[in-house]
Amino acid sequence: MRILVTAGNTQAPIDRVRCLTNIFTGRTGARIALHAHDRGHEVTLLTSHPETVSDSLKSIVSPKAWSVHPYRTFGDFQSLMGDFVTHRSFDAVVHCAAVSDYLPAGVYSPVAETRFQPDGRWTSDVGIPTLVDRSAGKVRSDEPELWLRLVRAPKLVDRIRSDWKFRGVLVKFKLEVGVNDEKLLEIAERSRQHSAADLMVANTLEGADAWAFLGPIQDHYERVERPALPSRLLAEIESVHEERGRG
């Protein structure tokens, strides 16, 4: 099989030296990509942290069946992923990357007479409350306060089937915080169906290093210990691909 794996985090630039991002390092995606290669598949890895596989390159037995493509920002990743999914013939996409949910759309400061109140209102001592655009190549650090406007980023996983017309096996990842297993599985399955993914890997931040749910497998989700996740996931991807080929 030809498998595309995405891993790591995206940066959402505020200016040329600052950004919003998340804590994820791409280790899970790297392990999945390396295990897929070990099973004899042709693997393309898109990652913001190529160093996670650098120590393992000596184990790459077939360099022609292995490629790594780095990215940094949300825009980099969107362009790279769209190009690969649209123009290359992959049998499976494992979308493990932790992609930005929001993107900066301006940096502002209130003028001297404008104040933000605890009840959520803007007020001004003279006229209309006013914010001044402070966007710059490097936003100045001498303002008493700055307000960052965020807008929703496009959901790239939802573009895989619709805009990018991918028809192979699609794996989606879902992370939640502070929910029990029942609620996690409810959210995960609804999310999987929304994105038309074949398989979902779901876990909580609290248990991320120990386990994940994988499914649906015969109409239910299996709880998988984290070290076993790459092999269990690849086995299911191969199974879905084989069944689809027979159909």
Indicate if the alpha-carbon torsion angle 229, 230, 236, 237 is positive or negative: positive
Q: Which residues partner with 109 through β-bridges?
A: 132
- The pTM (predicted TM-score) of the whole model is 0.93
What value does the mean pLDDT take over residues 161-181?
97
Give the least confident one: 55-59, 135-139, 200-204.
55-59
What is the side-by-side strand order in the sheet with 147-152?
A: 131-133, 102-110, 147-152
- How many angstroms separate the Cα of 240 from the Cα of each of 81, 176, 236? 22, 26, 6
Model pLDDT, residue 247 = 62
Nearest to 195, CA basis, from 163, 238, 221? 163
- How many angstroms separate the Cα of 77 from the Cα of each of 9, 223, 232? 9, 30, 27
Q: How many CB atoms lie within 10 A of CB 130?
A: 15
% of the chain exceeding 70 in pLDDT: 98
Domains defined along the chain, listed by start: 2-101+155-246 (3.40.50.10300), 103-151 (no CATH)
Residue whose tokens read 């992609």: 99
Q: Which two tokens mark 85? A: 């999914």
State yes or no: pLDDT of 40 exceeds 80: yes
- How many angstroms separate the Cα of 215 from the Cα of each of 58, 74, 228? 32, 28, 14
Residue 60: band (very low, low, confident or very high) from pLDDT cuts 50, 70, 90: confident
Model pLDDT, residue 61 = 67
Residue 64: band (very low, low, confident or very high) from pLDDT cuts 50, 70, 90: confident
Model pLDDT, residue 63 = 79
What letter does residue 144 receive in the DSSP assignment? S
Asked whether the beta carbons of 236 and 199 are under 8 A apart, the reply is: yes
Nearest to 78, CA basis, from 51, 96, 100? 100
State yes or no: pLDDT of 213 exceeds 90: yes
Separation between Cα atoms, residue 153 and residue 163, nearest integer Å:
15
Q: How many CB atoms lie within 10 A of CB 20?
A: 17
